[in-house]
Copies of this chain bind each other. A is one copy, B any other.
Amino acid sequence: MSFTVAPPAPDSTPVDTDTAACCAPASREAIGAADAEKLARSLKAVADPARLRLVSLVAAHADEEACVCDLTEPLGLSQPTVSHHLKVLVDAGILTRDKRGTWAYYRLVPGALDSLAGLLAGL
């Protein structure tokens, strides 16, 4: 994701203020509207307790891959609810889904969480 330039902060004149300096101009670029929309969508996908636990459970498994059969019981949620949350994570590019025989296997997309974390830390 590349950030575009937000409009510069406008100058404005404070009235009745006891501080000398107000409204200093921005000293570097802020995230643009389109990039903020994209980042917010990705963050919303993980900003849910059940989805955070699913991502963490997948990450905790050997090879960072987990069978859906291993993900339902730890959360104490119904299979359809877990499947819904997993779909949100797949749609957001956090997990991949691989159906093999009876079971679906979920795997972390390499770098997806690091990328999201980097964008957040670099705001």
Interface residues of chain A, those whose CB is within 8 Å of chain B, are: 6-10, 12, 14-19, 22-31, 33, 36-37, 39-40, 43-44, 46-53, 55-57, 59-63, 66-67, 69-71, 73-74, 100-103, 113-114, 116-118, 120-121, 123
Given contacts A36-B49, A40-B52, A117-B121, 7 further A-B contacts (CB under 8 A): A17-B102, A26-B57, A37-B49, A43-B52, A59-B123, A117-B117, A120-B120
Specify the chain B residue showing the minimal Cβ separation from A46. Answer: B43
Q: Are B9 and A33 in contact (CB under 8 A)?
A: no
Q: Which residues of B contact A27 (CB under 8 A)?
A: 60-62
How many copies of the polypeptide does the oligomer hold?
2
Q: Which residues of B contact A28 (CB under 8 A)?
A: 60
The 12 sampled A-B contact pairs (Cβ below 8 Å) are: A7-B73, A9-B73, A14-B101, A24-B63, A26-B60, A27-B62, A29-B60, A30-B74, A36-B53, A40-B47, A43-B52, A52-B123
> How far, in angstroms, from A31 to B14 measured CA to CA in the complex?
47
> How far, in angstroms, from A9 to B113 measured CA to CA in the complex?
22
User: How distant is A102 from chain B, measured CB to nearest CB, in Å?
Assistant: 4
User: How distant is A122 from chain B, measured CB to nearest CB, in Å?
Assistant: 8
